[in-house]
Amino acid sequence: MPRIILWSTFISIISILIQASVLANIPFMPVLPDLTLLIVLYVSFMNSSIAGSSAGFFSGLFLDFLSAAPIGLNAFTKTLTGFLAGRFSGSFNMNKLVLPVTLAVAGTVMKVVLSWVLSMLFGNSIVVYRLFSRDLWMEMAMNMFFAPLVFGLLGLFPSLFVDSHRSIE
C-alpha cells in the first residue's frame, strides 16, 4: 500500500504542475479539470478507502501549498472524497467510460458540497461554487471529459496504482 500512495502522490504532483503550467495557459479552457481529484478517485476505487484517503490527503496537501486556498482545504476535500470513493471499491465492474464519468461527477459534487460546508464553518476564506455558475458546470464537464483519459492512463500501470492482492479487470 505505501507504494500505491507514493506513486499516486507523485503522479498527482506532476498533474498539478501540468495544470498550473500547461492547461492554465490554454486560452479556450476557461476552467481547469481537477486532475488530482480524478487520480484520487481512481486510486480509491481500485484499492480501498485507506489508500484513497491517504493519497487524497498527501495530494491535497501539496495542492494546498501551491494554491491560494487555505492550508488543509484541498487535503480535507480530497481525503474525504477518496475515503468515500474507496467504500465502493470492488462494488462495480470497471467500465472504460461510464464508471469514470460517474465517479468524476460524484467527486466534483462532493468537492462542491464539502467546500460549501466548510465555508459555513470558516466564512469567506473558503471560495464556494454557485449552483448555476458557468464555472461549476464547465469544471464538471472538463472532469467528465478527462476522467476516462486519466483512468485509462493510470490503468496502463496496474503495478504502480493497484494493490497486487486485488483482482485487476
Note the pLDDT tens digit of each residue in 28-42.
888 889 999 999 999
Q: Domain locations in the chain? A: 2-157
Instruction: Summarize pLDDT for 86-121 with one digit per residue, the tens.
Output: 998 877 776 788 999 999 999 999 999 998 998 888
Pick the CATH number of 2-157 from 1.10.1760, 2.30.30, 1.10.405, 2.50.20: 1.10.1760
pLDDT recorded at residue 166: 56
Measured between alpha carbons, how far is 44 from 1 in angstroms, rounded to an integer?
A: 12
Q: Are 36 and 59 in contact (CB under 8 A)?
A: yes
3-state secondary structure 33-56: CCHHHHHHHHHHHHCCHHHHHHHH
What average pLDDT does range 44-73 have in this prediction? 90
Predicted confidence band at 169 (pLDDT cuts at 50, 70, 90)?
very low
Identify which has the larger pLDDT, 44 or 92: 44
As a whole number, mean pLDDT of residues 8-25 equals: 90
Q: How far is Cα 37 from Cα 51, in angstroms, rounded to an integer?
A: 14
Q: How confident is the model at residue 28, as a pLDDT?
A: 82
Indicate the helix (H) or strand (E) that contains 137.
helix 134-155
pTM (2 d.p.): 0.90
Mean pLDDT value across residues 37-53:
93
